[in-house]
Amino acid sequence: MGAVHEHECPSCGAAMRFSPASGLLVCDYCGKTIQIEPERRSEFNGFDFEHLSSHAYDPSSESLPIYNCVSCGAEIIAASEQISLTCPYCRNNIVLTDKVSGGLRPDGVIPFRIAPEALPEALQSFYKGKVLLPKNFFSESSVGKVTGVYVPFWVFSGRLFGSLTFYGEKGGKSHRSGDYIITDTNIYDLKRDVSVGFEGLPVDASGKIDDALMDSMEPFDLTDVRPFDARYLAGFVADRFDVPKEDMAARAEARMRKTADDYLDAHAGPGYAAVRRTGGKLTADLQAKYLLFPVYLFDIAHRGNTYKFAVNGQTGKVVGSLPTDKGVARKRFLVRAAAVLGVVLVIALVRYLLGR
């Protein structure tokens, strides 16, 4: 079994870190930089997801150092030169037990592209236009510790296939019969053989991060996926997947089926006045790749409340919740209600004057 080596500076021996701004390993002590092999590839063999157990272990894989948070139980992959860690989820210290609880090497990684120094500007852009923020939010709020985390994702591909049946209607010619106009309607039983393919559907595999928050981080540009290299972790931490594969597959399949259903319901019967599904079944055939995506996690505190935020470390997209000034919200509601009422009264007055 291989070992994870410390990323020591060849010039001075200090620990090096990965710089999102330059894409290089950087030594903060002597300024030495090292380029990581820039090979890109978007095709990976992936794992046998069908037979992946909840405690997957690949004995032929590189041994990855995994540390445990004694508070929330998170398992974090960290660069071996790190001597202290703060859990990105509960903010408590992580015990560096050097426990190697799994050697499942990710297929690939999207490196951080947004530097921590760029986060204040990204936050300001996110705040812009938020007119319902409390008046003194900027002066009274504080940003907590920012942690760069490689979040585990299973990226699914596959297809839905099978046969479906539909009820279809087509309007015929109309003719008059006495006081009635009769329109002939032709009814059809439709059968459609279906095969719908999907590529690059990400599902976060960390149970400690809200799924809706991670879904909001999308999209990630999968053309920037690099083969996994532990050097990208230098200066960051990486979460390990902890969601049962059945749950991840179910989420991926549900998203696929929703997309397929919307498309099929709209296109199953071109030329028909009405189409309704009556039966049939689609079977899912899924494959998955294990990738790490870059995310910054931090909290913003305001008047005793904490608001969780995340930033896409590749694109800079900010997601999170913000407080609302109830007084401002109430005033805006009243102004809008008054405007709508005014329009209604003007229309009523005009209609009255016109004698309608």
Residue 3: pLDDT band with limits 50, 70, 90: very low
Q: Cα dist. 192→205, 263, 340 in Å?
A: 35, 13, 49
**List of residues 6+ apart from 328 with CB closer than 8 A:** 131, 132, 135
Q: What is the pLDDT of residues 317-330, one digit of tens each?
A: 998 877 765 555 55
Estimate to the nearest angstrom the gap between the alpha carbon of 100 and the chain centroid. Answer: 28
> Which of 25-34, 50-59, 102-111, 232-241 is the least confident region?
50-59
Q: Which residue has the higher pLDDT, 245 or 344?
A: 245
- What type of residue is 333? F
Instruction: For residue 199, give both structure tokens.
Output: 């590529």
Q: Residue range 245-259: average pLDDT?
A: 89
How many angstroms separate the CA atoms of 336 and 274, rounded? 39
Task: Report the mean per-residue pLDDT for the chain.
Answer: 77
The predicted structure's pLDDT at residue 112: 94
The predicted structure's pLDDT at residue 323: 72
- What type of residue is 327? G
Q: Which helix (H) or strand (E) holds 309?
A: strand 305-312
Q: Which residue has the higher pLDDT, 242 or 201?
A: 201
pLDDT(43) > 70: no
Q: Which residue has the higher pLDDT, 306 or 222?
A: 222
> Which of 119-123, 163-167, 308-312 is the least confident region?
119-123
Estimate to the nearest angstrom the gap between the alpha carbon of 113 and the chain centroid. Answer: 17
Q: Residue range 328-337: average pLDDT?
A: 55
Task: Rank 106-110, 139-143, 331-335, 346-350 by mean pLDDT and report only the highest.
Answer: 106-110
Residue 10: pLDDT band with limits 50, 70, 90: confident
Residue 83: pLDDT band with limits 50, 70, 90: very low
Task: Give the residue carrying structure tokens 């996690």.
Answer: 297
Buried b (16+ CB within 10 A) or exposed e, 308-334: bbbbbbbbbbbbbebbebeeeeeeeee
Residue 38: pLDDT band with limits 50, 70, 90: low
Count Cβ atoms below 10 Å from residue 272 Cβ, excluding itself: 17
**List of residues 6+ apart from 223 with CB closer than 8 A:** 40, 42
Residue 273: pLDDT band with limits 50, 70, 90: confident
Q: What is the pLDDT of residues 89-100, one digit of tens each?
A: 776 656 554 443
The predicted structure's pLDDT at residue 57: 45
Long-range contacts of 56-60, Cβ-Cβ distance < 8 Å, separation of 24 or more: 56/102, 56/104, 57/102, 57/103, 57/104, 58/103, 58/104, 58/105, 59/1, 59/103
pLDDT(27) > 80: yes
How many angstroms separate the CA atoms of 314 and 150, rounded? 11
The predicted structure's pLDDT at residue 159: 92
